[in-house]
Chain A
Amino acid sequence: MASIGPENKSPGQTAIAAAATPVTLEKLPTVVPGFYQLPLGTALNESQAQSMAADRAVRLIVTAGAVDCGKTTLLTTVYELFQSGPVRNAQFAGCETLPAFEQRCHLSRADSENDKADTGRTVYDGPRPEYLHLKLHNTAEEDSHTDFLFTDVSGEMFEYARNSPDECKRLTFLLRASHLVVFLDCEKAVQPDRRWGMVQDAKSLLQSCLDSNMIPKECYVTVVWAKTDYFKADKNTQAVEQFVAGVERDFTARFGSRLKHFKFHSAAARPTRFPNLKMGFGVKELLADWVAHWPQDRSLQLEPPAENNGERESEKFAQRHNALSGNA
Chain B
Amino acid sequence: MTATPAHNFLLIGLPSTGKTSFLAALWYAIQQSESPTGLVLKRLEGDNAYPNKIRDAWLAFKPVGRNPTDSESFVSMRLKRSSGDEEAHLTFPDVSGESFKQQWTSRQLPASYEKCLREANGGILFIHPDSIKHPLRIEEVDDLAALIDDGVADELATPAGPPPVASHVPWDIEKASTQVQLVELLQFMMARPAFRRPFRLAIAVSAWDLVAPSKIRPEDWVARELPLLRQFLSAHRKTFEVAFYGVSAQGGKYEGEDKKVMETKLPATRIEVVGEGVTNKHDITEPLLWLMR
Interface string of A136-157 (1 = CB under 8 A from B): 0101000101000000000000
> Is there an interface contact between B107 and A37, defined as CB atoms closer than 8 Å?
yes
Contact (A91, B231) CB under 8 Å given A20-B171, A113-B169: yes
Chain B residue numbers with a CB within 8 Å of A22 are 170-171
Per-residue A-contact encoding for B26-51, CB less than 8 Å = 1, 0 else:
00000000000000000000000000
Binds B, one of A80-88, A177-185, A295-303: A80-88
Smallest beta-carbon distance A25→chain B, Å: 6
Say if the beta carbon of A29 comes within 8 Å of chain B. Answer: yes
B110 and A34 within 8 A (CB): yes
Evaluate contact between B168 and A36: CB separation under 8 angstroms: no
Q: How near does chain B come to A93, taking the closest CB pair, in angstroms?
A: 4
Measured between beta carbons, the chain B residues less than 8 angstroms from A95 are 183, 187
Q: Please name all residues of chain A whose beta carbon is closer than 8 Å to the beta carbon of B108 when the two chains form the complex.
A: 31-32, 35-38
Q: Is the CB of B163 within 8 A of A112?
A: no
Residue on B nearest A274 in the bound complex, by CB:
B159
Given A82-B228, A107-B168, A98 and B183 contact (CB-CB distance below 8 Å): yes
In Å, the complex CA distance between A103 and B180 comes to 12
Binds A, one of B119-127, B137-145, B211-219, B245-253: B137-145
Contact with A along B183-226 (1 / 0, CB 8 A): 11001100100000000000000000000000000000001000
* B 105-141 binary contact with A (CB < 8 Å = 1; else 0): 1111111101000000000000000000001111111
What residues of A have a CB within 8 angstroms of the CB of B138 in the complex?
108-110, 112, 114-117
* Contact code string B167-180 (vs A, CB < 8 Å = 1, else 0): 11111111111011
Measured CB to CB, the closest approach of chain B to A4, in angstroms, equals 7
Q: How many residues of A contact B (CB 8 A)?
A: 60
Q: Is A111 an interface residue (CB 8 A)?
A: yes
User: A92 and B235: CB pair below 8 A?
Assistant: yes
B106 and chain A: residue at smallest CB distance: A28
Residue B234, interface by CB 8 Å? yes
The residue on A at minimum CB distance from B102 is A35
Q: How many angstroms from the CA of A95 to the CA of B111 in the assembled complex?
A: 24
Nearest chain-B residue to A109 (Cβ)?
Answer: B137
A92 — which chain B residues lie within 8 A by C-beta? 183, 228, 231-232, 235
Quick check: B159 and A272 within 8 Å, CB to CB? Answer: yes
Q: Check: A105 CB closer than 8 A to any chain B CB.
A: yes
Residue contact B164 to A115, C-beta cutoff 8 Å: yes
Q: Please, how many angstroms separate the alpha-carbon atoms of A213 and B89 in the complex?
A: 65
Also in contact, A116 and B164, with CB within 8 A (given A28-B106, A83-B135, A109-B137): yes
The listed residue (B135, B136, B174, B235) touching A94 by CB distance below 8 A is B235
Instruction: Confirm or deny: B259 has a beta carbon within 8 angstroms of a beta carbon on chain A.
Output: no
Chain B residues in 8 Å Cβ range of A32: 108
Beta-carbon contact of B171 and A112 below 8 Å:
yes
A48 to B136, CA, bound (A): 31
Give the docked Cα–Cα distance between A114 and B139 (Å): 11
Q: Tell me the bound Cα distance from A39 to B103 in angstroms.
A: 10
Set A24, A108, A109: member contacting B174, Cβ < 8 A: A24
Chain B CB within 8 A of A41 CB: yes
B227 at interface by CB-CB < 8 Å: yes
Q: B13 CB to closest chain A CB, in angstroms?
A: 18
Give the residue among B114, B141, B188, B231 with the most A Cβ atoms within 10 A: B231
Q: Decide if A21 is an interface residue (CB 8 Å cutoff).
A: yes
- Rounded to whole angstroms, the CA-CA distance of A37 and B102 in the bound complex is 12
**Does B260 sit at the interface, judged by CB under 8 A?**
no
B164 with A34: CB separation less than 8 A: no
Q: How many A-B residue pairs have CB under 8 A?
A: 154
Complex interface: chain A residues within 8 A of B160 (CB): 116, 272-273
| CB-CB nearest in chain A for B112 | A34
Would you give the shortest CB distance from A133 to chain B, in whole angstroms?
11
Min Cβ gap A159→B in Å is: 20
Residue B3 interfacial (CB < 8 Å): no
A residues near B266, Cβ cutoff 8 Å = none
| Nearest A residue (CB) for B234 | A91
Contact partners of B191 in chain A: CB under 8 A: 39
Indicate if A15 sits at the interface (CB-CB under 8 A): no
Whether B236 sits at the interface, judged by CB under 8 Å, is yes
Chain B 145-177: CB-based contact to A (< 8 A → 1; otherwise 0)? 000000000001101100110011111111111
Cβ-based interface call for B53 (8 A) = no
- Do B170 and A35 touch across chains, with their CB atoms under 8 A apart? no
B164 touching A24, Cβ below 8 Å: no
Given contacts A35-B110, A272-B160, A273-B160, contact A91 B235 (CB under 8 A): yes
Interface-central residue, A4, A23, A110, A115, by most chain B CB under 10 Å: A110
Is the pair B103, A38 in contact by a Cβ cutoff of 8 Å?
A: yes
B-chain residues with CB within 8 Å of residue A98 when the two chains form the complex: 176, 180, 183-184, 187
Interface hub of B110, B135, B164, B238 (most chain A Cβ within 10 A): B135
B274 nearest CB across to chain A (Å): 24
Tell me which residues across on chain B come within 8 A of A117, comparing CB atoms.
137-139
Verify B231–A86 contact, CB threshold 8 A: yes
Q: Offer 10 A-B interface pairs, CB within 8 angstroms, sorted by A.
A: A29-B106, A31-B108, A35-B108, A36-B108, A37-B109, A80-B137, A82-B228, A86-B231, A94-B187, A109-B136
Given contacts A36-B110, A85-B231, A110-B141, could you give 19 more A-B pairs where the C-beta distance is less than 8 Å?
A24-B105, A24-B173, A25-B173, A28-B107, A29-B106, A37-B107, A38-B107, A41-B184, A83-B227, A83-B228, A85-B223, A91-B235, A92-B228, A92-B231, A94-B232, A110-B137, A118-B164, A273-B159, A279-B139
9 closest residue pairs by CB, A with B: A93-B235, A137-B235, A106-B171, A21-B170, A91-B231, A112-B168, A21-B171, A35-B108, A272-B160
